Structure 1
Amino acid sequence: MRAAAGEGGPQPFPWDAAMHAGLCLLRLPAKDFWAMTPRELQAALGGLRPRAAVPERAGLEALMGAFPDSE
């Protein structure tokens, strides 16, 4: 029996998105794009950079109190 989409089973590789990112956004020559591994493409797209810290709820409420949108 096959699991429904999004239920933890293996997902097909997103070739359309990868090709668009590599060939259109990064403007890689086709030979360079096809020579890359998925990990290298992820790194070229900035996917391996550390993510910026996001404030917890209490921190967000403190900022909202210190800098209200209205008087």
Structure 2
Amino acid sequence: MSRFDWPTLMRAGMRGLGLCPAEFWALTPAELHLLLGGRGAAPLRRSGLEALMAAYPDNRSEDGEEQNG
């Protein structure tokens, strides 16, 4: 069973936003959410970037060569 209420979403997209069926079905759920007034994800802050860099470091040596393993 889908976790989306498709009839309601289709009414909102096609009647409320004036989308044609092809436009509606071409959207991702996130795009439809934004068009309907939802908020997007918060921007990545410095601390978040640093955490990602620590978790997934580049595998390159100081001379720029890619390291295996």
Give the TM-score normalised by the residue count of structure 2.
0.51
Residue 36 of structure 2: aligned partner: 45
Q: Which runs of 5+ in 2 are unaligned?
A: 41-69
CA distance in 2, matches of 1:19, 1:29: 10
Aligned length in residues: 40
Q: Which runs of 5+ in 1 are unaligned?
A: 1-9, 50-71
1:22 paired to 2:13: yes
What is residue 36 of structure 1 aligned with on the other side?
27
Could you tell me how far apart the structure 2 residues matched to 1:35 and 1:11 are? 18
| Percent of aligned pairs with the same amino acid | 43
**What is the CA deviation profile of residues 6-62 of structure 1, one whole-angstrom value per residue up to 9, with x for unaligned ones?**
xxxx8631101100100000010111100001110000011117xxxxxxxxxxxxx
Within 1, Cα distance between the matches of 2:14 and 2:2? 22
The counterpart of 1:13, out of the listed 4, 7, 25, is: 4
Q: After the TM superposition, which segments of 4 or more aligned residues of structure 1 sit over 6 Å from their partners?
A: none
Q: C-alpha root-mean-square deviation of aligned residues, in Å? A: 1.9
Secondary structure in 1 matching 2:39 = coil
TM-score, length-scaled by structure 1: 0.50
